[in-house]
Structure formats: structure tokens, C-alpha cells
Amino acid sequence: MIDEGADIIDIGGESTRPGFTPVSATTEIGRILPVLRELVSSADVPISVDTMKPDVAQAAIGAGADIINDVYGLRAPGMTELIASSGVSAVIMHMHGDPGTLHSETMEGDAVSEIIDFLKERRTAALDAGIRADRIIMDPGAGFGKSHAQNAEIVEHAGRFSLGHPVLVGVSRKRFLKTQLPDMGADEATAEISLRAVRAGANIVRVHNVAVMRKALEKHLSQTACGQDSDE
């Protein structure tokens, strides 16, 4: 992935896809640490660890993680304090509901405004705990308790979630892509929708197929430099 152009590597030891089975912190740590240690010793890009558990985050930070990517928005007791004391960066993601209901309940009403309000509240909590502003990344949480239409709105309004921080959007291989681009393969659709997010203000996109995304992004940047950017 690094050879294909990844600027950050994100690893995790607990799935959050529909139907996932939660695992213990001990199991999660056992899955993550061997891979993390290898990456820290050999990779020349920042390493992010995807976890919502403070015990796992602490172990990951101790092993050299640069970023904690928390799908629960730093809501677990002690997580903000841990991030603040360690000095690592944190991704604050919006999840509707909690891990047990995130794929069975979807948001109602104005999803974009609700997500912004949540991110504002979590940003305040992070800053109050001592997390540096330049260590915060915002993620509106596409696919986490949102309808297909709401996921499309998140992409369209990606820049609104910034609040002065970089915005991360992760739509890679998610089910709603088929409602947007039914005739495309998963990775090609991921690249196209991720590119829409970039055009709308996203700074970071999380993908599985780096090569396809990098090719699409380079084409976009080339067109933008020439003043030819379009949706064609």
C-alpha cells in the first residue's frame, strides 16, 4: 500500500461491519501489536490504529502508533485524557447510536447538522482535555448509522465537517456505493465517490485499493492544475 502511494496506514483488530461480533481488548491488542510493531520498524508513513477502547489505544501508542482512529468519537472514559497525555493525533468520528445499534438504527432529520453538532461537542471535549488542535481530525462517519441518502449528503458536504481541522471521509467498499454508481466495481466506485468528497473539502480519504484511488486523485489534481476539473 505504501508503494502504491498511501500517505497513512490504518490498521484495526475489531471489525465494525454489519453483523460484527465485538472482541475483548486483550484479543484486539493481540491482533494489532505484531502488525503495528512491524510497520513502525519498517514504514516511513504515519501509522493509525482503529480502536474505540482506551486499553487498546494505550497499548498501540506504547508500540509506536501515531494516530488513534476512534469510531466512537473519543467517548469512552479516559480516551481524551490518554490522547492528550501521549501527544498522538486522533480521528474523532461520528457514530449514530452506539456500537451495538449502529447498523440497525439510522439517523432521522437533518443528518449533516446533527453530525456537525456532535463533532463540535467532541472537539470541545478534546480541547478541554488538553488535546492539541493540530492533532485533531474530523470524520463524519459515512456508513455508521446513516441511510444511503445521508451517506451521499455526507460526501456532498464533506468540507462542512472541518471546524478548522482536516476532514477524513471513509466510503471504501461500503454498501451505499451501489446506490450511487451501480455499474461500477467496488474499488472504482470507491475512488469516484472519494474524489467527490475531496472536491467537497475532504483532506483524507480512507480506501482499501490505494492504486486505484491514487490514479483517480492524480488525474483530478492534474485537471485542477490545468483549470479543467469537471465531473465528466
Residues carrying an active site annotation: 174, 206
Task: Note whether 109 and 150 are within 8 A (CB).
Answer: no
Task: Note whether 61 and 106 are within 8 A (CB).
Answer: no
* CA of residue 218 relative to chain centroid, distance: 21
* CA of residue 133 relative to chain centroid, distance: 17
Cell of 213: 484511488
What gap in Å lies between CA 230 and CA 219, rounded to an integer?
A: 11
Output phi, psi for 52, to 5 deg. Answer: -110, 5
* CA of residue 8 relative to chain centroid, distance: 11
139, β-bridge pairs: 93
What gap in Å lies between CA 153 and CA 134, rounded to an integer?
A: 26
Give the residue ranges of DSSP H helices in the chain. 25-42, 54-62, 79-86, 111-129, 148-156, 177-180, 186-199, 210-225
SS3 assignment for 124-135: HHHHHHCCCHHH
Greatest Cα pair distance, the chain, in angstroms, is 52
Cell of 12: 484495526
